[in-house]
Structure 1
């Protein structure tokens, strides 16, 4: 098979809240409109980054979306909207790059890929509900819980389980840097590439060269 036909499998771990802010949807957008807008932004970002890294490869991308999808045992409006968004989205053109195909499978990050069935809530379709709740210090605010740790756990787990798969982490929080370091260390320069996609590069304390890629 020629190099131009080489297929590289990729899993993209998306910190959905950070991408909602980065995508800058119109103020007051409905959950469905917000979902469409953010998904298109994420698709374009992934396409541009992967093509920039290797424009000779064909990429087969699986998305995993991490967010506060449940308040207690109740699905949030954003979670309900994403089911509708994925059902209607045009995944063929989502990445805007001919060599990057994004699979039309909705994977919520609260359904952990390596957790046991004993921890799973079949009715909810997840292992970890109650990922959005009132801020303990300010009852008028809500906050996400267990989202960053879910990303970190699964990112490192997949680095071990599928050493040839490329791993992409899309998010702005510094808490997401350690798992990319560990995944990179697990690979040791062999196997699939580890990529951190974020616009921030405002700290002298982190060495992100050849790991960090910008969304633009």
Structure 2
């Protein structure tokens, strides 16, 4: 038989054990609720960041495409202007009698071929890399271009997102959630690269068409000038 003191002591121990278990349950439940709230907060911020990053990516892609096309048009125009200036100088020498018609025609042909070889040599590495890249995408240029742009956009978006998630407020929220800043940054970057992949052809097509039309027009004017000079030498 247990004494009253022993029974009282046993009841006290059970009460303390019950209190500890209730406290542990409350703490665990509070932590779970806190983490759930943090997860929702991070998810909301990720969604907002994705929307902003998508708009920024489209603007950047549009701006960079326009810049690249403009640079190519300008480079082509400058190159053709130099060629036109050289041929014009030779034509002037021929007009002044310092260069025979035969000599003028021969020099123009040599210079034109020389410029053509130079252009081919300068373009060859870029053409080769493009050939290898397209071949690696089952000879689908559009797919290769989309993947190329998506990869660049992903790298940039991931870097920016990683910087943003390292800021004190965002870093604290992520620390309370089940996410990591690397996972959040990757999620944002994947979403941005997907929108870039689907929009790249639409953005590039019009600008590339305009640039190509300008280059074709300028090249046609140069060819017409060379033809005129050769025929009237």
Q: Same fold (TM over 0.5)?
A: no
More helix by share: 2
TM-score (ref. length: structure 1): 0.28
* TM-score normalised to structure 2 length: 0.26
- Compare the two structures and name the one with the higher strand fraction: 1
Q: Which is greater in Rg?
A: 2
Indicate the structure whose relative CO is greater, using CA pairs within 8 Å and at least 6 residues apart.
2
